[in-house]
Structure 1
Protein backbone atom coordinates (compact mmCIF):
# COMPACT_ATOMS: atom_id res chain seq x y z
CA UNK A 1 0.00 0.00 0.00
CA UNK A 2 1.55 3.28 -1.13
CA UNK A 3 0.99 6.56 0.64
CA UNK A 4 0.26 9.85 -1.00
CA UNK A 5 3.27 11.76 -2.18
CA UNK A 6 1.62 15.14 -1.56
CA UNK A 7 -0.94 15.80 1.10
CA UNK A 8 -1.48 14.78 4.65
CA UNK A 9 -3.88 12.52 6.40
CA UNK A 10 -4.57 14.73 9.39
CA UNK A 11 -5.83 17.73 7.43
CA UNK A 12 -7.91 15.65 5.09
CA UNK A 13 -5.67 16.30 2.12
CA UNK A 14 -2.99 18.79 1.27
CA UNK A 15 -3.37 20.35 -2.15
CA UNK A 16 -5.60 17.74 -3.64
CA UNK A 17 -8.90 16.74 -2.28
CA UNK A 18 -10.81 19.55 -3.86
CA UNK A 19 -11.65 17.46 -6.89
CA UNK A 20 -12.24 14.22 -5.12
CA UNK A 21 -15.72 13.14 -4.13
CA UNK A 22 -16.62 11.48 -0.84
CA UNK A 23 -17.00 7.79 -0.16
CA UNK A 24 -20.34 7.81 -1.90
CA UNK A 25 -18.82 9.06 -5.14
CA UNK A 26 -18.50 5.53 -6.58
CA UNK A 27 -21.07 2.80 -5.90
CA UNK A 28 -18.45 0.11 -6.74
CA UNK A 29 -15.92 1.16 -4.16
CA UNK A 30 -14.22 -1.75 -2.38
CA UNK A 31 -11.85 -1.33 0.52
CA UNK A 32 -9.72 -4.31 -0.48
CA UNK A 33 -8.89 -2.76 -3.87
CA UNK A 34 -8.10 0.67 -2.44
CA UNK A 35 -5.04 2.50 -3.73
CA UNK A 36 -4.13 5.93 -2.44
CA UNK A 37 -3.95 8.70 -5.04
CA UNK A 38 -0.64 10.34 -5.83
CA UNK A 39 -1.83 13.93 -5.24
CA UNK A 40 -2.96 13.80 -1.66
CA UNK A 41 -6.63 14.19 -0.98
CA UNK A 42 -8.49 12.30 1.67
CA UNK A 43 -7.66 8.94 0.21
CA UNK A 44 -10.79 8.31 -1.84
CA UNK A 45 -11.16 7.79 -5.57
CA UNK A 46 -11.63 10.81 -7.76
CA UNK A 47 -15.25 11.76 -8.12
CA UNK A 48 -16.70 14.00 -10.76
CA UNK A 49 -17.43 17.08 -8.68
CA UNK A 50 -15.00 19.67 -7.37
CA UNK A 51 -16.61 19.73 -3.98
CA UNK A 52 -14.78 17.12 -1.97
CA UNK A 53 -15.98 16.12 1.48
CA UNK A 54 -19.56 15.02 1.09
CA UNK A 55 -19.13 16.36 -2.46
CA UNK A 56 -20.04 13.97 -5.15
CA UNK A 57 -22.51 16.53 -6.45
CA UNK A 58 -21.33 18.39 -9.51
CA UNK A 59 -19.28 21.49 -8.54
CA UNK A 60 -20.72 21.61 -5.07
CA UNK A 61 -18.96 24.40 -3.24
CA UNK A 62 -15.32 24.69 -4.07
CA UNK A 63 -13.30 23.48 -1.17
CA UNK A 64 -14.65 20.48 0.61
CA UNK A 65 -11.84 18.96 2.60
CA UNK A 66 -9.20 19.95 0.08
CA UNK A 67 -6.27 22.31 0.70
CA UNK A 68 -6.24 21.47 4.38
CA UNK A 69 -9.49 22.28 6.10
CA UNK A 70 -12.98 22.96 4.85
CA UNK A 71 -12.05 25.04 1.84
CA UNK A 72 -14.11 27.91 0.43
CA UNK A 73 -17.43 26.39 -0.34
CA UNK A 74 -18.39 24.34 2.68
CA UNK A 75 -20.02 21.01 1.93
CA UNK A 76 -21.09 21.75 -1.60
CA UNK A 77 -24.73 22.52 -1.00
CA UNK A 78 -25.13 25.41 -3.38
CA UNK A 79 -24.00 25.75 -6.98
CA UNK A 80 -21.21 28.07 -8.00
CA UNK A 81 -18.54 29.53 -5.79
CA UNK A 82 -20.56 30.98 -2.98
CA UNK A 83 -21.71 27.88 -1.18
CA UNK A 84 -24.61 28.17 1.19
CA UNK A 85 -28.09 28.50 -0.21
CA UNK A 86 -27.80 31.58 -2.31
CA UNK A 87 -25.64 30.47 -5.17
CA UNK A 88 -23.27 32.81 -6.89
CA UNK A 89 -20.88 34.95 -4.89
CA UNK A 90 -23.33 36.96 -2.89
CA UNK A 91 -24.76 34.20 -0.75
CA UNK A 92 -28.04 34.76 1.01
CA UNK A 93 -31.19 34.79 -1.04
CA UNK A 94 -30.35 37.43 -3.54
CA UNK A 95 -27.67 35.73 -5.59
CA UNK A 96 -24.96 37.65 -7.34
CA UNK A 97 -22.58 39.94 -5.48
CA UNK A 98 -24.93 42.40 -3.96
CA UNK A 99 -27.48 40.32 -2.16
CA UNK A 100 -31.18 40.51 -2.82
CA UNK A 101 -33.59 43.36 -3.22
CA UNK A 102 -32.85 46.27 -0.83
CA UNK A 103 -35.19 46.46 2.09
CA UNK A 104 -36.65 49.65 3.56
CA UNK A 105 -34.29 49.24 6.49
CA UNK A 106 -31.16 49.19 4.34
CA UNK A 107 -30.20 52.50 5.95
CA UNK A 108 -28.78 54.05 2.84
CA UNK A 109 -26.05 51.55 2.16
CA UNK A 110 -24.97 51.10 -1.44
CA UNK A 111 -27.80 49.36 -3.22
CA UNK A 112 -30.62 51.14 -1.42
CA UNK A 113 -32.55 53.53 -3.62
CA UNK A 114 -34.86 56.50 -3.53
CA UNK A 115 -37.85 55.98 -5.81
CA UNK A 116 -38.54 59.41 -7.22
CA UNK A 117 -40.65 58.34 -10.16
CA UNK A 118 -40.83 60.03 -13.54
CA UNK A 119 -42.31 63.22 -12.08
CA UNK A 120 -39.97 64.69 -9.51
CA UNK A 121 -40.34 68.08 -7.89
CA UNK A 122 -37.77 69.84 -5.71
CA UNK A 123 -39.21 72.12 -3.05
CA UNK A 124 -37.21 74.37 -0.72
CA UNK A 125 -37.34 73.52 2.95
CA UNK A 126 -37.98 76.24 5.51
CA UNK A 127 -34.26 76.04 6.34
CA UNK A 128 -32.04 77.65 3.68
CA UNK A 129 -30.13 75.36 1.31
CA UNK A 130 -32.17 72.36 2.44
CA UNK A 131 -34.69 70.87 0.02
CA UNK A 132 -37.37 68.20 -0.22
CA UNK A 133 -37.65 65.92 -3.26
CA UNK A 134 -41.30 65.18 -3.97
CA UNK A 135 -42.01 61.96 -5.85
CA UNK A 136 -43.39 58.52 -5.11
CA UNK A 137 -41.42 58.91 -1.90
CA UNK A 138 -40.49 62.25 -0.35
CA UNK A 139 -36.89 62.68 0.72
CA UNK A 140 -34.66 65.31 2.28
CA UNK A 141 -31.83 66.52 0.06
CA UNK A 142 -29.18 69.21 -0.36
CA UNK A 143 -27.84 70.85 -3.48
CA UNK A 144 -24.59 69.16 -4.45
CA UNK A 145 -21.66 71.52 -4.10
CA UNK A 146 -19.57 69.21 -6.32
CA UNK A 147 -21.86 67.97 -9.13
CA UNK A 148 -21.13 64.47 -10.31
CA UNK A 149 -19.49 63.40 -7.05
CA UNK A 150 -21.05 60.99 -4.56
CA UNK A 151 -19.64 60.81 -1.01
CA UNK A 152 -21.12 57.66 0.55
CA UNK A 153 -23.07 56.04 -2.28
CA UNK A 154 -26.12 58.26 -1.85
CA UNK A 155 -28.56 58.73 -4.71
CA UNK A 156 -28.22 61.90 -6.77
CA UNK A 157 -30.96 63.50 -8.80
CA UNK A 158 -30.67 66.15 -11.51
CA UNK A 159 -33.40 68.67 -12.22
CA UNK A 160 -33.55 71.27 -14.96
CA UNK A 161 -34.12 74.75 -13.62
CA UNK A 162 -33.90 78.29 -14.95
CA UNK A 163 -30.63 79.93 -14.02
CA UNK A 164 -32.24 83.37 -14.11
CA UNK A 165 -35.96 83.96 -13.34
CA UNK A 166 -35.95 86.71 -15.96
CA UNK A 167 -34.96 84.16 -18.62
CA UNK A 168 -37.14 81.09 -17.99
CA UNK A 169 -36.05 79.41 -21.23
CA UNK A 170 -32.39 79.43 -20.24
CA UNK A 171 -32.31 76.23 -18.20
CA UNK A 172 -29.49 74.24 -16.68
CA UNK A 173 -29.25 71.03 -14.67
CA UNK A 174 -28.92 71.26 -10.90
CA UNK A 175 -27.85 68.18 -8.95
CA UNK A 176 -29.19 67.28 -5.50
CA UNK A 177 -28.05 64.62 -3.05
CA UNK A 178 -30.51 62.57 -1.00
CA UNK A 179 -29.89 63.06 2.73
CA UNK A 180 -30.54 59.80 4.58
CA UNK A 181 -31.85 60.37 8.15
CA UNK A 182 -30.86 56.82 9.13
CA UNK A 183 -27.22 57.69 8.55
CA UNK A 184 -27.21 61.32 9.68
CA UNK A 185 -28.43 62.53 13.06
CA UNK A 186 -28.65 66.07 11.74
CA UNK A 187 -31.04 64.95 9.00
CA UNK A 188 -33.03 63.00 11.61
CA UNK A 189 -33.32 66.16 13.71
CA UNK A 190 -34.51 68.20 10.73
CA UNK A 191 -37.15 65.64 9.83
CA UNK A 192 -38.04 65.40 13.52
CA UNK A 193 -39.12 69.04 13.42
CA UNK A 194 -36.48 71.21 15.05
CA UNK A 195 -37.50 74.87 15.25
CA UNK A 196 -34.15 76.32 14.27
CA UNK A 197 -31.13 75.12 12.30
CA UNK A 198 -27.96 76.93 13.43
CA UNK A 199 -26.10 75.84 10.29
CA UNK A 200 -26.71 78.51 7.67
CA UNK A 201 -25.28 79.56 4.29
CA UNK A 202 -21.97 81.35 4.62
CA UNK A 203 -21.51 80.25 8.24
CA UNK A 204 -18.52 78.71 9.96
CA UNK A 205 -19.23 75.40 11.65
CA UNK A 206 -17.09 73.24 13.93
CA UNK A 207 -18.14 69.60 13.60
CA UNK A 208 -16.95 67.26 16.38
CA UNK A 209 -17.07 63.55 15.59
CA UNK A 210 -17.02 63.86 11.82
CA UNK A 211 -16.39 60.13 11.16
CA UNK A 212 -16.04 59.49 7.42
CA UNK A 213 -17.75 62.72 6.46
CA UNK A 214 -21.29 61.54 5.71
CA UNK A 215 -23.07 64.40 7.49
CA UNK A 216 -20.15 66.78 7.01
CA UNK A 217 -20.64 66.59 3.25
CA UNK A 218 -24.26 67.74 3.60
CA UNK A 219 -23.24 70.50 6.02
CA UNK A 220 -20.76 71.52 3.34
CA UNK A 221 -23.67 71.78 0.89
CA UNK A 222 -25.70 73.87 3.33
CA UNK A 223 -23.01 76.44 4.19
CA UNK A 224 -22.07 76.70 0.53
CA UNK A 225 -18.90 77.96 -1.08
CA UNK A 226 -18.81 81.02 1.20
CA UNK A 227 -18.92 78.95 4.41
CA UNK A 228 -16.40 76.65 6.09
CA UNK A 229 -16.77 73.37 7.97
CA UNK A 230 -14.00 72.40 10.40
CA UNK A 231 -14.38 68.64 10.82
CA UNK A 232 -12.63 66.95 13.77
CA UNK A 233 -12.28 63.16 13.86
CA UNK A 234 -10.07 61.07 16.16
CA UNK A 235 -10.04 57.76 14.24
CA UNK A 236 -7.28 57.61 11.65
CA UNK A 237 -9.17 55.13 9.51
CA UNK A 238 -12.24 57.36 9.29
CA UNK A 239 -9.92 60.34 9.01
CA UNK A 240 -8.55 58.99 5.73
CA UNK A 241 -12.02 58.95 4.22
CA UNK A 242 -12.63 62.43 5.61
CA UNK A 243 -9.44 63.77 4.04
CA UNK A 244 -10.30 62.19 0.69
CA UNK A 245 -13.73 63.78 0.78
CA UNK A 246 -12.22 67.17 1.65
CA UNK A 247 -9.96 67.01 -1.41
CA UNK A 248 -13.04 67.56 -3.57
CA UNK A 249 -14.82 69.97 -1.23
CA UNK A 250 -12.79 73.09 -0.70
CA UNK A 251 -14.96 74.38 2.15
CA UNK A 252 -14.15 71.41 4.43
CA UNK A 253 -11.07 71.51 6.68
CA UNK A 254 -10.35 67.97 7.98
CA UNK A 255 -8.66 67.70 11.38
CA UNK A 256 -7.61 64.23 12.56
CA UNK A 257 -7.22 64.91 16.27
CA UNK A 258 -8.79 64.17 19.65
CA UNK A 259 -11.65 66.57 20.39
CA UNK A 260 -10.81 66.34 24.11
CA UNK A 261 -7.75 68.51 23.47
CA UNK A 262 -8.86 71.53 21.44
CA UNK A 263 -5.55 73.30 22.15
CA UNK A 264 -3.89 70.91 19.70
CA UNK A 265 -5.80 72.36 16.75
CA UNK A 266 -6.43 75.89 17.98
CA UNK A 267 -4.19 77.29 15.23
CA UNK A 268 -6.46 75.79 12.56
CA UNK A 269 -9.90 76.87 13.78
CA UNK A 270 -11.04 80.50 14.19
CA UNK A 271 -14.15 81.63 16.06
CA UNK A 272 -17.16 79.80 14.64
CA UNK A 273 -20.88 80.48 14.47
CA UNK A 274 -22.03 77.00 15.52
CA UNK A 275 -20.73 73.72 16.92
CA UNK A 276 -22.27 70.36 16.13
CA UNK A 277 -21.09 67.59 18.49
CA UNK A 278 -21.66 63.89 17.81
CA UNK A 279 -18.87 62.27 19.81
CA UNK A 280 -20.88 59.58 21.69
CA UNK A 281 -18.69 59.70 24.80
CA UNK A 282 -19.64 59.72 28.51
CA UNK A 283 -18.03 63.16 28.89
CA UNK A 284 -19.49 64.61 25.70
CA UNK A 285 -20.87 67.69 27.49
CA UNK A 286 -17.40 68.48 28.81
CA UNK A 287 -15.89 68.00 25.34
CA UNK A 288 -18.43 70.41 23.89
CA UNK A 289 -17.73 72.96 26.65
CA UNK A 290 -13.96 72.82 26.09
CA UNK A 291 -14.31 73.44 22.37
CA UNK A 292 -16.89 76.17 22.91
CA UNK A 293 -14.54 78.00 25.27
CA UNK A 294 -11.90 78.04 22.53
CA UNK A 295 -13.90 78.54 19.35
CA UNK A 296 -17.61 79.38 19.82
CA UNK A 297 -18.41 83.06 19.67
CA UNK A 298 -20.61 84.72 22.28
CA UNK A 299 -24.21 84.13 21.30
CA UNK A 300 -23.21 81.27 19.02
CA UNK A 301 -25.24 78.10 18.62
CA UNK A 302 -24.58 74.52 19.58
CA UNK A 303 -26.15 71.18 18.68
CA UNK A 304 -25.41 68.13 20.80
CA UNK A 305 -26.40 64.61 19.79
CA UNK A 306 -26.84 62.45 22.91
CA UNK A 307 -26.76 58.66 22.83
CA UNK A 308 -28.16 57.54 26.17
CA UNK A 309 -26.39 54.18 26.30
CA UNK A 310 -22.97 55.83 25.82
CA UNK A 311 -23.49 58.12 28.81
CA UNK A 312 -25.16 55.68 31.23
CA UNK A 313 -26.41 52.31 30.03
CA UNK A 314 -28.18 51.57 33.34
CA UNK A 315 -30.35 54.70 33.56
CA UNK A 316 -33.51 55.48 31.64
CA UNK A 317 -32.89 57.52 28.48
CA UNK A 318 -35.10 60.39 29.70
CA UNK A 319 -33.05 60.64 32.90
CA UNK A 320 -29.81 60.68 30.92
CA UNK A 321 -31.08 63.47 28.67
CA UNK A 322 -32.15 65.56 31.67
CA UNK A 323 -28.77 65.05 33.33
CA UNK A 324 -26.90 66.17 30.21
CA UNK A 325 -29.03 69.30 29.93
CA UNK A 326 -28.13 70.20 33.52
CA UNK A 327 -24.44 69.76 32.72
CA UNK A 328 -24.79 72.06 29.73
CA UNK A 329 -26.47 74.73 31.84
CA UNK A 330 -23.57 74.64 34.31
CA UNK A 331 -21.17 75.27 31.41
CA UNK A 332 -22.92 78.50 30.39
CA UNK A 333 -24.96 76.92 27.62
CA UNK A 334 -28.59 77.83 27.30
CA UNK A 335 -30.58 74.92 25.79
CA UNK A 336 -33.63 76.14 23.90
CA UNK A 337 -35.05 72.91 22.50
CA UNK A 338 -34.68 69.19 22.82
CA UNK A 339 -36.17 66.38 20.76
CA UNK A 340 -35.69 62.64 20.40
CA UNK A 341 -34.55 61.18 17.09
CA UNK A 342 -37.15 58.45 16.86
CA UNK A 343 -37.85 56.59 14.61
CA UNK A 344 -34.47 57.06 12.94
CA UNK A 345 -32.29 56.46 16.02
CA UNK A 346 -33.24 54.63 19.20
CA UNK A 347 -32.57 56.31 22.57
CA UNK A 348 -31.02 59.37 20.95
CA UNK A 349 -31.81 63.02 21.53
CA UNK A 350 -30.65 66.30 20.05
CA UNK A 351 -30.25 69.42 22.21
CA UNK A 352 -30.00 72.84 20.57
CA UNK A 353 -29.23 76.16 22.21
CA UNK A 354 -26.98 79.18 22.52
CA UNK A 355 -23.73 79.95 24.34
CA UNK A 356 -23.00 82.76 26.82
CA UNK A 357 -26.31 84.50 26.41
CA UNK A 358 -28.74 85.97 28.93
CA UNK A 359 -30.08 83.19 31.10
CA UNK A 360 -26.89 81.12 31.10
CA UNK A 361 -24.69 81.11 34.19
CA UNK A 362 -21.17 80.16 35.16
CA UNK A 363 -20.04 76.77 36.37
CA UNK A 364 -20.88 76.29 40.02
CA UNK A 365 -24.33 77.89 39.91
CA UNK A 366 -25.62 81.35 40.68
CA UNK A 367 -23.70 81.48 43.98
CA UNK A 368 -20.43 81.69 42.05
CA UNK A 369 -21.75 84.70 40.16
CA UNK A 370 -22.79 86.56 43.32
CA UNK A 371 -19.45 85.82 44.99
CA UNK A 372 -17.48 87.80 42.41
CA UNK A 373 -16.39 91.33 43.28
CA UNK A 374 -17.67 92.79 40.01
CA UNK A 375 -20.83 91.51 38.35
CA UNK A 376 -20.40 90.13 34.85
CA UNK A 377 -21.89 92.10 32.02
CA UNK A 378 -24.36 90.44 29.70
CA UNK A 379 -22.73 88.46 26.93
CA UNK A 380 -19.39 87.91 28.76
Structure 2
Protein backbone atom coordinates (compact mmCIF):
# COMPACT_ATOMS: atom_id res chain seq x y z
CA UNK A 1 0.00 0.00 0.00
CA UNK A 2 1.29 3.44 -0.84
CA UNK A 3 0.97 6.69 1.08
CA UNK A 4 1.58 10.17 -0.32
CA UNK A 5 2.09 12.74 2.43
CA UNK A 6 0.16 10.52 4.86
CA UNK A 7 -2.71 9.93 2.43
CA UNK A 8 -3.53 6.36 1.39
CA UNK A 9 -3.74 5.99 -2.39
CA UNK A 10 -4.02 3.36 -5.08
CA UNK A 11 -2.46 3.46 -8.55
CA UNK A 12 -5.61 3.26 -10.68
CA UNK A 13 -6.44 5.42 -13.66
CA UNK A 14 -9.78 7.21 -13.61
CA UNK A 15 -12.15 7.80 -10.73
CA UNK A 16 -14.86 5.37 -9.71
CA UNK A 17 -16.96 7.11 -7.08
CA UNK A 18 -15.96 10.75 -7.38
CA UNK A 19 -12.82 10.32 -5.31
CA UNK A 20 -10.04 12.89 -5.44
CA UNK A 21 -6.74 12.14 -7.10
CA UNK A 22 -3.09 13.02 -6.58
CA UNK A 23 -1.58 12.93 -10.04
CA UNK A 24 -2.24 9.40 -11.30
CA UNK A 25 -3.02 8.13 -7.80
CA UNK A 26 -6.56 7.71 -6.43
CA UNK A 27 -7.18 8.80 -2.84
CA UNK A 28 -8.60 5.88 -0.87
CA UNK A 29 -11.30 7.22 1.47
CA UNK A 30 -11.46 5.43 4.85
CA UNK A 31 -15.03 6.62 5.41
CA UNK A 32 -16.07 4.86 2.21
CA UNK A 33 -13.86 1.79 2.61
CA UNK A 34 -13.31 -0.33 5.70
CA UNK A 35 -10.12 -1.75 4.24
CA UNK A 36 -8.71 1.77 3.92
CA UNK A 37 -9.76 2.42 7.53
CA UNK A 38 -7.95 -0.74 8.64
CA UNK A 39 -4.74 0.32 6.92
CA UNK A 40 -4.95 3.87 8.28
CA UNK A 41 -5.42 2.44 11.78
CA UNK A 42 -1.97 0.91 11.43
CA UNK A 43 -2.54 -2.66 10.20
CA UNK A 44 -0.27 -3.74 7.37
CA UNK A 45 -2.09 -5.33 4.43
CA UNK A 46 -0.08 -6.78 1.55
CA UNK A 47 -1.60 -6.61 -1.92
CA UNK A 48 0.36 -6.86 -5.16
CA UNK A 49 -0.04 -8.36 -8.61
CA UNK A 50 0.84 -11.83 -7.32
CA UNK A 51 -2.10 -11.84 -4.88
CA UNK A 52 -5.42 -13.25 -6.09
CA UNK A 53 -8.47 -12.15 -4.12
CA UNK A 54 -11.98 -13.43 -3.38
CA UNK A 55 -14.12 -10.47 -2.32
CA UNK A 56 -17.41 -11.33 -0.57
CA UNK A 57 -19.94 -8.51 -0.47
CA UNK A 58 -18.55 -6.39 -3.29
CA UNK A 59 -21.49 -3.91 -3.31
CA UNK A 60 -20.96 -1.05 -5.80
CA UNK A 61 -17.27 -1.79 -6.23
CA UNK A 62 -15.81 1.11 -4.25
CA UNK A 63 -13.27 -0.93 -2.27
CA UNK A 64 -13.09 -3.58 -4.99
CA UNK A 65 -11.75 -0.98 -7.41
CA UNK A 66 -8.92 -0.01 -5.05
CA UNK A 67 -8.08 -3.65 -4.33
CA UNK A 68 -7.95 -4.30 -8.07
CA UNK A 69 -5.52 -1.40 -8.49
CA UNK A 70 -3.01 -3.38 -6.42
CA UNK A 71 -3.91 -7.06 -6.73
CA UNK A 72 -4.02 -9.70 -9.44
CA UNK A 73 -7.41 -11.26 -10.20
CA UNK A 74 -10.30 -10.14 -7.95
CA UNK A 75 -13.37 -12.40 -7.85
CA UNK A 76 -16.10 -10.02 -6.67
CA UNK A 77 -19.29 -11.58 -5.31
CA UNK A 78 -22.45 -9.46 -4.98
CA UNK A 79 -26.10 -10.48 -4.74
CA UNK A 80 -28.16 -7.26 -4.96
CA UNK A 81 -29.08 -6.26 -8.54
CA UNK A 82 -28.64 -2.48 -8.22
CA UNK A 83 -25.09 -2.53 -6.76
CA UNK A 84 -24.24 -5.26 -9.24
CA UNK A 85 -24.89 -2.84 -12.11
CA UNK A 86 -22.28 -0.45 -10.69
CA UNK A 87 -19.86 -3.31 -10.06
CA UNK A 88 -20.13 -4.44 -13.68
CA UNK A 89 -19.36 -0.89 -14.83
CA UNK A 90 -16.28 -0.82 -12.57
CA UNK A 91 -15.15 -4.15 -14.00
CA UNK A 92 -15.31 -2.77 -17.53
CA UNK A 93 -12.53 -0.36 -16.61
CA UNK A 94 -10.53 -2.85 -14.56
CA UNK A 95 -10.13 -6.06 -16.47
CA UNK A 96 -8.78 -8.02 -13.49
CA UNK A 97 -12.18 -7.87 -11.72
CA UNK A 98 -14.47 -10.87 -12.25
CA UNK A 99 -17.97 -9.76 -11.15
CA UNK A 100 -20.21 -12.65 -10.04
CA UNK A 101 -23.85 -12.15 -9.06
CA UNK A 102 -24.49 -14.72 -6.35
CA UNK A 103 -25.49 -15.21 -2.72
CA UNK A 104 -22.52 -15.89 -0.42
CA UNK A 105 -24.72 -18.44 1.36
CA UNK A 106 -24.92 -20.45 -1.86
CA UNK A 107 -21.28 -20.67 -2.79
CA UNK A 108 -21.89 -23.82 -4.85
CA UNK A 109 -23.14 -21.44 -7.56
CA UNK A 110 -19.71 -19.85 -8.05
CA UNK A 111 -17.43 -22.57 -6.74
CA UNK A 112 -16.69 -23.82 -10.30
CA UNK A 113 -15.72 -20.27 -11.34
CA UNK A 114 -13.29 -19.35 -8.57
CA UNK A 115 -9.76 -20.69 -8.17
CA UNK A 116 -8.07 -20.97 -4.82
CA UNK A 117 -6.92 -17.52 -3.74
CA UNK A 118 -4.27 -15.94 -1.54
CA UNK A 119 -6.59 -13.44 0.12
CA UNK A 120 -10.28 -13.41 1.07
CA UNK A 121 -11.99 -10.19 2.07
CA UNK A 122 -15.49 -10.37 3.54
CA UNK A 123 -17.81 -7.41 4.10
CA UNK A 124 -21.31 -8.85 4.47
CA UNK A 125 -24.00 -7.48 6.81
CA UNK A 126 -25.62 -10.77 7.86
CA UNK A 127 -26.06 -12.47 11.24
CA UNK A 128 -24.05 -15.53 10.12
CA UNK A 129 -20.88 -13.67 9.17
CA UNK A 130 -18.58 -16.13 10.93
CA UNK A 131 -20.30 -19.15 9.37
CA UNK A 132 -19.87 -17.56 5.94
CA UNK A 133 -16.15 -17.15 6.63
CA UNK A 134 -15.73 -20.73 7.81
CA UNK A 135 -17.58 -22.08 4.77
CA UNK A 136 -15.32 -20.14 2.40
CA UNK A 137 -12.04 -21.44 3.81
CA UNK A 138 -12.04 -24.06 1.04
CA UNK A 139 -11.17 -21.23 -1.36
CA UNK A 140 -8.16 -20.02 0.65
CA UNK A 141 -4.65 -21.30 0.04
CA UNK A 142 -2.61 -22.46 3.00
CA UNK A 143 -0.73 -19.49 4.39
CA UNK A 144 -3.37 -17.14 2.96
CA UNK A 145 -5.04 -14.14 4.57
CA UNK A 146 -8.69 -13.82 5.51
CA UNK A 147 -10.03 -10.42 6.56
CA UNK A 148 -13.52 -10.42 8.04
CA UNK A 149 -15.08 -7.01 8.49
CA UNK A 150 -17.30 -7.90 11.43
CA UNK A 151 -20.47 -5.82 11.58
CA UNK A 152 -21.34 -6.57 15.18
CA UNK A 153 -24.81 -4.98 15.13
CA UNK A 154 -25.77 -7.22 12.23
CA UNK A 155 -24.81 -10.28 14.28
CA UNK A 156 -26.72 -9.25 17.42
CA UNK A 157 -28.04 -5.74 17.92
CA UNK A 158 -28.68 -6.28 21.65
CA UNK A 159 -25.32 -7.77 22.61
CA UNK A 160 -22.25 -5.69 23.46
CA UNK A 161 -20.11 -5.36 20.30
CA UNK A 162 -17.00 -6.46 22.19
CA UNK A 163 -18.74 -9.67 23.29
CA UNK A 164 -19.85 -10.35 19.71
CA UNK A 165 -16.27 -9.81 18.57
CA UNK A 166 -14.80 -12.11 21.20
CA UNK A 167 -17.23 -14.91 20.33
CA UNK A 168 -16.45 -14.46 16.64
CA UNK A 169 -12.70 -14.70 17.24
CA UNK A 170 -13.18 -17.91 19.22
CA UNK A 171 -15.30 -19.43 16.45
CA UNK A 172 -12.79 -18.53 13.74
CA UNK A 173 -9.91 -19.99 15.72
CA UNK A 174 -11.93 -23.16 16.38
CA UNK A 175 -12.31 -23.48 12.60
CA UNK A 176 -8.53 -23.45 12.16
CA UNK A 177 -7.74 -19.79 11.46
CA UNK A 178 -5.15 -17.82 13.41
CA UNK A 179 -6.59 -14.43 14.30
CA UNK A 180 -3.57 -12.15 14.10
CA UNK A 181 -5.21 -8.74 14.57
CA UNK A 182 -8.48 -7.41 15.95
CA UNK A 183 -8.84 -3.77 14.96
CA UNK A 184 -11.87 -1.63 15.75
CA UNK A 185 -12.54 0.86 12.98
CA UNK A 186 -13.80 3.87 14.94
CA UNK A 187 -14.06 6.73 14.07
CA UNK A 188 -14.47 5.69 10.45
CA UNK A 189 -17.01 2.87 10.98
CA UNK A 190 -18.86 2.48 14.26
CA UNK A 191 -19.18 -0.95 15.90
CA UNK A 192 -17.10 -2.59 13.17
CA UNK A 193 -14.08 -4.77 13.95
CA UNK A 194 -11.61 -5.99 11.35
CA UNK A 195 -10.51 -9.54 12.10
CA UNK A 196 -7.28 -10.21 10.23
CA UNK A 197 -6.66 -13.94 10.06
CA UNK A 198 -4.20 -16.38 8.55
CA UNK A 199 -4.71 -19.98 7.48
CA UNK A 200 -1.70 -21.92 8.75
CA UNK A 201 0.56 -23.68 6.26
CA UNK A 202 -0.29 -27.08 7.75
Q: Answer yes or no: is the 8 Å Cα contact 1:198–1:302 preserved in 2.
A: no
Question: What is the deviation of 1:268?
Answer: 1.2
Q: Answer yes or no: is the 8 Å Cα contact 1:338–1:351 preserved in 2.
A: yes
**Residue 281 of structure 1: SS of its match in structure 2?**
coil
Distance 1:193 1:248 in 2: 30
Normalised TM-score (structure 1): 0.52
Distance 1:230 1:211 in 2: 13
Which structure dedicates a bigger proportion of its chain to strand? 2
Distance 2:112 2:46 in 1: 24
* Equivalent of 2:21 in 138, 147, 156: 156
Cα distance per residue 1:180-209 (max 9 Å; x no partner) = 000000000000111x31433321000000
* Equivalent of 1:278 in 123, 148, 151: 123
Alignment of 1:282-293 (within 5 A): 282-293=127-138
Q: Which has the higher contact order (CA 8 A, sep 6+)?
A: 2
User: Structure 1, unaligned stretches of length 5 or more?
Assistant: 1-129, 159-174, 359-378
Computing the radius of gyration from Cα coordinates, the structure with the larger value is 1
Q: Answer yes or no: is the 8 Å Cα contact 1:210–1:216 preserved in 2.
A: yes
**Residue 113 of structure 2: SS of its match in structure 1?**
coil
Q: Answer yes or no: is the 8 Å Cα contact 1:198–1:301 preserved in 2.
A: no
Normalised TM-score (structure 2): 0.96
RMSD: 1.2
User: Structure 2, unaligned stretches of length 5 or more?
Assistant: none
Aligned to 1:228: 73
* Equivalent of 1:302 in 129, 146, 151: 146
Aligned to 1:212: 60
Which structure dedicates a bigger proportion of its chain to helix? 2
* Equivalent of 2:104 in 235, 250, 259: 259
How many equivalent residue pairs? 202
Alignment of 1:228-377 (within 5 A): 228-293=73-138, 295-355=139-199, 357=200
Give every structure 1 segment of 4 or more consecutive aligned residues whose post-TM-superposition deviation is greater than 4 Å.
none
Aligned to 1:179: 28
